[in-house]
Amino acid sequence: MTQWLTIIGIGEDGYGGLGQNARDVLAHAGTVFGGKRHLDMLPEGLTAKRTAWPSPFSDAYPMLLALRGQPVAVLASGDPMHFGMGATLTRFIEHDEMRIIPAPSSFSLAAATIGWPIQETQLLSVHGRPVETLFKAFAPGAKLLILSNDGDTPAQVARMLSKTGFTSAQLTVLEHMGGAAERRIEGTADVWDHPRCADLNVVAVDCLVPEPSSRAYSTVAGLPDEAFEHDGQLTKRDVRAVTLAHLAPLPGELLWDVGAGCGSIGIEWMRTHSSCRVVAIEANEKRQDLILRNSRALGVPDLQVIRGEAPGALRDLPTPDAIFIGGGLTSAGVMETCWKSLKPGGRLVANAVTIQSETALVSWRAAHGGELTKLAVSHAQPLGGFDTWRSALPVTIYAVRKPA
């Protein structure tokens, strides 16, 4: 198949900023797709049919595919492969059918404007994404470039920074970069009182040093227990860190968190890599709400909660790369359903505290192999004028890999 579809990155300088190769594509295209703002940048002399993106946007895919083989151009902001239209369309159209002509991305323009080396900066987007994903990025000294969703995003970011103790964080909003309407707005998180910004903006955040009471957490497994809102149904920090080590999350992988409690295992799984996914299965209604609140507060609002009890609630879920069973080991069919659903080569980890659930794991290991580890953790606590060791309940951790 020839390259019938060309995706052209275009900046605020419009048609005048395009190179000759992009202009040649537009001159020979039969149809040009784009947002109304981008289409209005084209000169009247172009003969191609101009088609604005439909609403809902998902209707655009069959429209494009209906023109397969004909010369079609798509206008996209900046670099189409960086949080852009090109990255989206590669899920529907083979790459060898497309040609991509990028322009400088908003991040490149922003980094050049404020003088931040890109390799030392986190590049984030909340365009069409939950803004709570930013909570995970707030850390002392971190430099962030954030592609906004709209003109309200800078104020939202300032409130979030203040809420987590980064009151002195420096914000710089860059609007309409590279165009005649380019503007720069600066301020700190604690006193940000600027009116709504232009919808086309990038927010640069220098987190600096937070207040002593700030809430900034590492992405390494083993968050402090107080990071989670819970009702006591929580995999404690030391056990959680060992459990995550056995689960061994890799980029893009999906975890089933069965009997999720307050969601601590699934949340920490997602915090390790931005592309990791979780389906948390929980029967208790109050705990379902805890999972949602914790996932938003800890920067992984895309965590999916399935409201129901295993094994029935496991039907028709996407196939997991790994499964953690934190509850329900003694319920009929839970282990069997999880094992059957797991991808070949996938990992299953289960934790047991009671004798009955441990017995179930010992029996399963006899049939399917794997490792059993008993973890006993003690913490120093006061006893009169001295200290002594207080032991938590020992936890049996079972880990097994399904044969490929």
Domain span at 197: 107-206
pLDDT-derived band at 388, boundaries 50, 70, 90: very high
Question: Based on the domain organization, do 178 and 66 belong to the same domain?
Answer: no
Quick one: 272 and 377 in the same domain?
Answer: yes
Say yes or no: 201 and 285 in one domain. no
CATH number, domain with residue 65? 3.40.1010.10
Does one domain contain both 295 and 163? Answer: no
pLDDT value of residue 276: 97
In this structure, are 185 and 241 located in the same domain? no
The answer as to whether 143 is a domain residue is yes
pLDDT at 194 over 80: yes
Is pLDDT at 205 greater than 80 in this prediction?
yes
Task: Indicate whether 248 and 197 sit together in one domain.
Answer: no
Query: Is 138's pLDDT higher than 70?
Result: yes
The CATH number of the domain where 171 resides is what?
3.30.950.10
Model confidence pLDDT, tens digit, residues 90-103: 988 999 999 999 99
The CATH number of whichever domain residue 309 belongs to comes to: 3.40.50.150
The count of domains in the chain is 3
pLDDT band, residue 1 (cuts 50/70/90): low
274 domain residue, yes or no? yes
Query: Are 313 and 382 found together in one domain?
Result: yes
Q: What percent of the chain is modeled with pLDDT above 90?
A: 92
Please indicate, yes or no, whether residues 245 and 196 belong to a single structural domain of this protein. Answer: no
- At 209 the pLDDT is 86
186/240 same-domain check: no
User: pLDDT by residue (tens digit) across 50-101?
Assistant: 999 999 988 999 999 999 999 999 999 999 999 888 988 998 899 999 999 9
- Are residue 146 and residue 271 in the same domain, yes or no? no
Does the structure show a pLDDT above 70 at 369?
yes
The answer to whether residue 166 is domain-embedded is: yes
Q: Is residue 217 part of a domain?
A: no
Model pLDDT, residue 210 = 86
Mean pLDDT of 107-123: 96
User: pLDDT-based confidence at 211, cuts 50/70/90?
Assistant: confident
Domain-ending residue, one of 103, 129, 151: 103
Question: Is position 211 within any domain?
Answer: no
For the cut 80, the answer to whether the pLDDT of residue 312 exceeds it is: yes
Residue 297 lies in a domain: yes
pLDDT of residue 215: 81
Name the pLDDT band for 382 (thresholds 50, 70, 90): very high
pLDDT, residue 216, reads: 86
**Which one of 46, 76, 103 terminates a domain?**
103
Query: Does any domain span residue 396?
Result: yes
Residue that finishes a domain, picked among 76, 103, 130: 103
Position 16 pLDDT exceeds 90 = yes
Tens-place pLDDT, residues 261-289: 999 999 999 999 999 999 999 999 999 99
The answer to whether residue 18 scores a pLDDT higher than 80 is yes
Going by pLDDT thresholds of 50, 70 and 90, the confidence category of residue 150 is very high
Residue 212 placed within a domain: no
Amino acid 212: pLDDT: 85
Name the pTM for this structure. 0.90
Q: Which candidate, 312, 273, 313, 280, places its Cα nearest to that of 295? A: 280
